[in-house]
Amino acid sequence: MSTLLSDPIDLALPETSNAPRCFALDRRTFFKVFGGGLLVCLTDANVLAQEAGGGFGGRQPVPTAVSAWLQIAADGKISVFTGKVEIGQNIRTSLAQLVAEELMVPFDAITMVMGDTDLVPYDAGTFGSQSTPQMGPRLRNMAATARQALLQMAAKQWSVDAASLTIADGKVTNPASKQSLTYGQLTRGEKIVTTVSSTAPLTPANVWKVAGKPIPKANGREFVTGKHKYPSDIALPGMMFGKVLRATGFNATLVSVDTSAAEKLPGVKLVRDGDFIGVVAPDAYTAEQAIAAIQAKWTIPSQPSNQNIFDYLKNTPESGRGGARPNASVQPAAAATAQSADSQAIELAQSYTVQYIAHAPLEPRAAVAQWDSTGKLTVWTGTQRPFGVKDELVAAFHLDPTKVRVLQPDMGSGYGGKHTGETAIEAARLAKAAGQPVRLVWTREEEFTWAYFRPAGLMELKASVQHDGTLISWEHHNYNSGNAGLETSYNVSHPVTAYHASRSPLRQASYRALASTANHFARESFMDELAHAVAMDPLAFRRKNLTEPRLLAVLNAAAEKFGWATSRSTPTRGFGLACGMEKGGHVATCAEVAIDPATKSVKIVRVVSAWESGAVVNPDGLQNQNMGAIIQGIGGALFEAIHFADGRILNPHFESYRLPRFSDTPQVDIVLVDRKDIPSAGAGETGLVGLAPAVGNAIFAATGARVRNMPMAPDAPIPGITSSPFTT
Amino acid sequence: MSDYVLNVNGAKLKVSALADETLLSVLRNRLDLTGTKYGCGEGECGACTVLMDGAAVHACQTLVADAVGKQITTIEGLEQNGKLTAVQQAFLDVGAFQCAYCTSGMIMRATVLLHELPNPTEAQIRTRMNGNICRCGTYPRIVQAVQQASHSMAKGGAR
């Protein structure tokens, strides 16, 4: 019934924030909040030397530059605090395993506290497959230090040499006297701060007892009973429900608006600040009705569409990034095979494309915002970057960083698509204007339209190969989609690779595996074309040009499990393979497709994917991630594409934007190669990259038709792309 | 705004809602039964699947008025006295989820499937479950969990 004017907000957010990166809790606050016990703070050695004097075991202050911390409470409960977040990749479980291993306690003894900016130390975010290789060793180091501290505490209590004691299953034992003390008994009543100053001896993977095992998802029961509260499920007393008016297209200008009908709805408050128009209502349904009742007129400028996107991206450098394009020597128009002058080599040039696609996490963006009487803002939201969202809120509302708290409940996934804080800002804006907590959940259409996309990309490749299959030159240009996975692993002298940033007409950012999917699609399809050009088996051709042992190992493992040696393609059945490595993950994928020659329908019937990323922390979780990567990859490979024109998304619904379903799912076998001698790398992304080229190569093997555009068999023709002969 | 009495998970719940409001909106936003998820609002993803008189329906496509007088079961209503149903237990044992946002809908759909077809083939499971999306791509494990639940029910296990 009323119109509220919100405070002006800076929506142009700075690239970086000057928000302090210090740990918020001091020693007094810590023990007040958490009670007594042993507190182990992880910091780097230099900072520690300045702040705390090094060493451990003393009554030190809590250092301010902590990157994670661990508490053993008086009751023996162990809590680990990290800024990493759980988004379905099972990192809550696998990090707890690593800590349990080094602390020598059962898995269930560990509680992970994640993604709460008031309780955990600063962390840049959960992306780039960095949690396992970076946070994993840090937490192990911290836990190993705690173990040493506990041994010393027991040694002191019993007046014996710490080296004479044993430690297992959450207690320290003196074999001589048969005395034992649990960790809780050792730490009871104490208020001890220990900082990690040196690298403690870590337990090698080949003797792991808790890590390396297929432990089920932490708190799994909460998820099968519906009890877990996702960000969109958070409810607060007095909470209102918000909606935001969306423009009818990108870069729109508001011409006129009539909010009178909306304001007549019971309990509705209108929030207006320039072109930002939102509503809050006592119930979600009324909020929806109110936003729908607003009559707004927008003007939308002419903008690129699918029809001309690749020309546009190639010819529109991102301003401020080096200006004019370097001249690529690749000429895809002359894409035919050509004999070089000395007739010793075959030269080939080709171009490949990928479309914009959507992350489409099943839980759309959501936030619940609350301002308390002291002006402190608390937001529960689904994000891969709680501290990044905090920075955005600090900047948007001109707040002191101590006045903003962001909490990230384990969420309905992200796939790289939830790095930003727009929903948190919107909810906070509405809550501030309403003077009450507000829940804001984006609709599927909003998620499809106002989130960001996996970039479209154009890849131009050129290579020459000797008749015996030896690669002798290599050139690979990527326009717009990115440089991840751009470097070739094949042996060739002086390869030329270049990423050319473009000004994207659609909002684009990271997507699981980044540009590695596009670059592997191009490279591994092209490798297949080169193999056929010299009449070599695609596996033999790769082996001939590859010496990287870890990549060769997964290639051989996948080929063996798949039965590559005995697979013979026919017009109705095709076999293809691809491989690649990125971020410490090594993958090789073999695919079998069934083709109906009459309808040209393609069905992926079998996939074998071999994976190696060092020592396996949790084989069950790793298998699940790789399986998921293959199945998610099917969408981008065969049918996912955003259709857009003049600032509008034309297919912002599951009915028109098809995701992989049960009916699209082949038999999938994941082969895990466990290298206990190599530090564990992240595994959430790179498993995706082999599927599309393996399928494309299988289609070619069966039909002789090469599809160089992803998706390769879309339901509807994509403007600007030569129609694929294939359907699904 | 009208007053309705809904029979949810065996309890009669009074709720004020708008006549054309969906059952999903009422469950999530008025009754705080948030185990039932919003995924698309268009009946395309199955995240909001609940049981109404034993049949699986999309709560986002069901008006609250049409749910009056029906026995509604949501994910919160399956566990009895701390005991999971065979389907819930199988999803847990198999680890048939990643982010698990789809899990409520998957379990409700599988519950109906196994009631109608106690011993389904793999093809039947895929067909009957095809309206439910798992964006994380956990389909093979979900099929495995439904098969495992079928076996455990055949052995005279849980409901």
Q: Which domains are delineated in chain B?
A: 2-75 (3.10.20.30), 86-154 (1.10.150.120)
Of A107, A620, A681, A690, nearest in space to B97 by CA: A620
pLDDT(A369) > 80: yes
**Mean per-residue pLDDT over chain A, rounded:** 90
How far CA A344 is from CA of A335, A535, A600, in Å, comes to 19, 15, 37
| Whole-number Å distance between alpha carbons of A485 and B61 | 43
Contact flag B140-A665 (C-beta cutoff 8 Å): yes
Tokens of A356: 């914009």
Band of pLDDT at residue A15, cut at 50, 70 and 90: very low
The minimal CB distance from A224 to the residues B45, B92, B127 is found for B92
| Whole-number Å distance between alpha carbons of A709 and A696 | 9
Range A526-529, long-range pairs (CB < 8 A, 24+ positions): A526/A348, A526/A350, A526/A352, A526/A461, A526/A463, A527/A490, A527/A578, A528/A576, A528/A578, A528/A693, A528/A696, A528/A697, A528/A700, A529/A348, A529/A350, A529/A706
Contact flag A360-B135 (C-beta cutoff 8 Å): yes
Chain B contact for A236, CB < 8 A? no
CATH 3.30.365.10 correct for A230-301+360-442: yes
Band of pLDDT at residue A45, cut at 50, 70 and 90: very low
Quote the minimal CA–CA distance from A88 to chain B in Å. Answer: 3
Q: Would you state the pLDDT for residue A363?
A: 98
Contact flag B44-A227 (C-beta cutoff 8 Å): no
Chain B partners within 8 Å of A283 (Cβ): 17-18, 25, 29-30
pLDDT, mean of residues A616-624:
98
pLDDT, mean of residues A217-231:
97
- Find, in chain B, the residue whose alpha carbon is nearest to that of A88: B99
Chain B contact for A89, CB < 8 A? yes
| Whole-number Å distance between alpha carbons of B149 and A405 | 42
The minimal CB distance from B74 to the residues A221, A226, A629 is found for A226
Instruction: Give the helix, strand, coil percentages of chain B, each rounded to 5.
Output: 40, 20, 40
Indicate the domain borders of chain A: 35-216, 230-301+360-442, 316-354+457-503+512-710
Lowest mean pLDDT among A4-13, A124-133, A475-484, B46-55: A4-13
pLDDT, mean of residues A263-288:
96
Q: What is the pLDDT of residues A395-445, one digit of tens each?
A: 999 999 999 999 999 999 999 999 999 999 999 999 999 999 999 999 999
What contacts A666, CB < 8 A, 6 or more positions away? A591, A592, A603, A604, A605, A606, A607, A634
Band of pLDDT at residue A76, cut at 50, 70 and 90: confident
Chain A contact for B134, CB < 8 A? yes
Tokens of A657: 């934007």
Considering the domain A316-354+457-503+512-710 in this protein, what is its CATH number? 3.30.365.10
Q: Would you state the pLDDT for residue A41?
A: 77
The DSSP H or E segment spanning A431 is helix A422-434
Contact flag B99-A620 (C-beta cutoff 8 Å): no
Q: Would you state the pLDDT for residue A328?
A: 56
Q: Would you state the pLDDT for residue A138?
A: 87
Chain A contact for B133, CB < 8 A? yes
Fold of domain A35-216: Aldehyde Oxidoreductase; domain 4 (3.30.365)
Q: Would you state the pLDDT for residue A28?
A: 67
Q: What is the pLDDT of residues A643-662, one digit of tens each?
A: 999 999 999 999 999 999 99
Equal CATH topology for A35-216 and A230-301+360-442: yes
Lowest mean pLDDT among A140-144, A325-329, A425-429, A472-476: A325-329
Q: Would you state the pLDDT for residue A685?
A: 96
Q: Would you state the pLDDT for residue A42?
A: 73
Q: How many beta-carbon contacts under 8 Å exist across A and B? A: 175
Q: Would you state the pLDDT for residue A673?
A: 98
Band of pLDDT at residue A581, cut at 50, 70 and 90: very high
DSSP assigned state of A637: I
Q: Would you state the pLDDT for residue A422?
A: 97
| Whole-number Å distance between alpha carbons of A695 and A575 | 8
Q: What is the pLDDT of residues A303-357, one digit of tens each?
A: 999 999 999 999 999 875 544 565 555 654 444 445 454 568 999 999 999 999 9
Percentage of chain A modeled with pLDDT above 70: 88
Band of pLDDT at residue A372, cut at 50, 70 and 90: very high
What contacts A482, CB < 8 A, 6 or more positions away? A455, A457, A499, A514, A515, A518, A519
Chain B contact for A535, CB < 8 A? no
pLDDT, mean of residues A522-536:
98
Lowest mean pLDDT among A149-153, A590-594, B22-26: A149-153
Of A582, A573, A594, A589, nearest in space to A630 by CA: A589
| Whole-number Å distance between alpha carbons of A93 and A217 | 6
Q: What is the pLDDT of residues A663-706, one digit of tens each?
A: 999 999 999 999 999 999 999 999 999 999 999 999 999 999 99
Question: Is the Cβ–Cβ distance between A128 and A142 less than 8 Å?
Answer: no
pLDDT, mean of residues B76-97:
98
pLDDT(A48) > 70: no
Chain B contact for A292, CB < 8 A? no
The minimal CB distance from A627 to the residues B25, B102, B140 is found for B140
Contact flag A632-B78 (C-beta cutoff 8 Å): no
Percentage of chain B modeled with pLDDT above 90: 96
Look at residue A357 and give its three-state secondary structure: strand
pLDDT(A82) > 80: yes
Q: Would you state the pLDDT for residue B126?
A: 98
Q: What is the pLDDT of residues A235-244, one digit of tens each?
A: 999 999 999 9
pLDDT(A548) > 90: yes
**Mean per-residue pLDDT over chain B, rounded:** 97
What contacts A237, CB < 8 A, 6 or more positions away? A437
How far CA A671 is from CA of A589, A616, A703, in Å, comes to 10, 12, 28
Q: Would you state the pLDDT for residue A19?
A: 39
Chain B, residues 59-78, CB within 8 A of chain A, namely: 74-76, 78
Q: Would you state the pLDDT for residue A187?
A: 82
Contact flag B101-A230 (C-beta cutoff 8 Å): yes
pLDDT, mean of residues A533-560:
98
Chain B partners within 8 Å of A362 (Cβ): 37, 39, 45, 47, 99, 101-102, 133-135
Half-sphere exposure of residue A247: CA atoms within 13 angstroms, side-chain side: 19
Chain B, residues 97-126, CB within 8 A of chain A, namely: 97-104, 107, 125-126
How far separated are the first and last CA of chain B, in Å rounded? 38
